[in-house]
A = this chain, B = another copy of it.
Amino acid sequence: MSSYWQIVLASRPEGRPRLNNFRIEKRSILALPDGNILVRTLYLSLDPYMRGRMSDARSYASAVAIGAPMEGEAIAEIVESRHPDYRPGELIRAMIGWRTLAAIDPATARRINVGRAPITTALGVLGMPGFTGYSGLKVIGQPKPGETVAVAAATGPVGSLVGQLAKRAGARTVGIAGGPEKCRSLTTEFGFDRAVDHKSKSFAKALSEVCPDGIDVYFENVGGAVWPAVLPLLNRYGRVPICGLVAHYNGEAGVGRDRLPDTMLAVLRRSLLLRGFINSEFISEHYDAFLSELTPLVATGAIRYREDIVEGLEAAPAAFIGMLCGKNFGKLLVKVA
Contacts and interface: CB of A to CB of B under 8 A. Distances in A.
Interface in A40-80: 52, 57-60
B271 A60 contact: yes
A245 B273 contact: no
Nearest to A232: B58
A264 to B, nearest CB: 6
A268 B256 contact: no
A150 B47 CA distance: 36
A268 B254 contact: no
B281 A276 contact: no
A83 to B, nearest CB: 33
B260 A259 contact: yes
Interface in A216-259: 220, 223, 227, 232, 236, 242-245, 248, 253-259
Interface in A294-308: none
A195 interface: no
B275 A272 contact: yes
How big is chain A's contact interface, by range?
Answer: 35 or more
**Which interface residue of A263, A268, A278 has the most chain B CB atoms within 10 A?**
A268
A263 B60 CA distance: 15
A118 interface: no
A244 B271 contact: no
A127 B117 CA distance: 59
Contact of A258 (B260, B264, B266): B260
Contact of A253 (B227, B243, B245, B257): B257
A259 B265 CA distance: 14
B269 A274 contact: no
Contact of A58 (B52, B255, B267, B269): B269
A277 interface: yes
**Which interface residue of A58, A59, A261 has the most chain B CB atoms within 10 A?**
A261
Contact of A264 (B248, B278, B281): B248
A8 to B, nearest CB: 24
Contacts of A256: 258
A87 interface: no
A271 B140 CA distance: 12
Contacts of A232: 58
A258 B254 contact: yes
Contacts of A57: 269
A205 B57 CA distance: 19
A27 interface: no
A268 B245 contact: yes
Nearest to A140: B273
A220 B264 CA distance: 10
Q: Which 4 A-B pairs have the closest CB atoms?
A: A254-B258, A268-B276, A267-B276, A259-B260
21 contacts: A52-B269, A60-B270, A60-B271, A242-B264, A244-B268, A248-B261, A248-B264, A253-B257, A253-B258, A254-B258, A254-B261, A256-B258, A257-B258, A258-B259, A260-B263, A266-B276, A267-B274, A269-B276, A271-B277, A271-B281, A272-B276
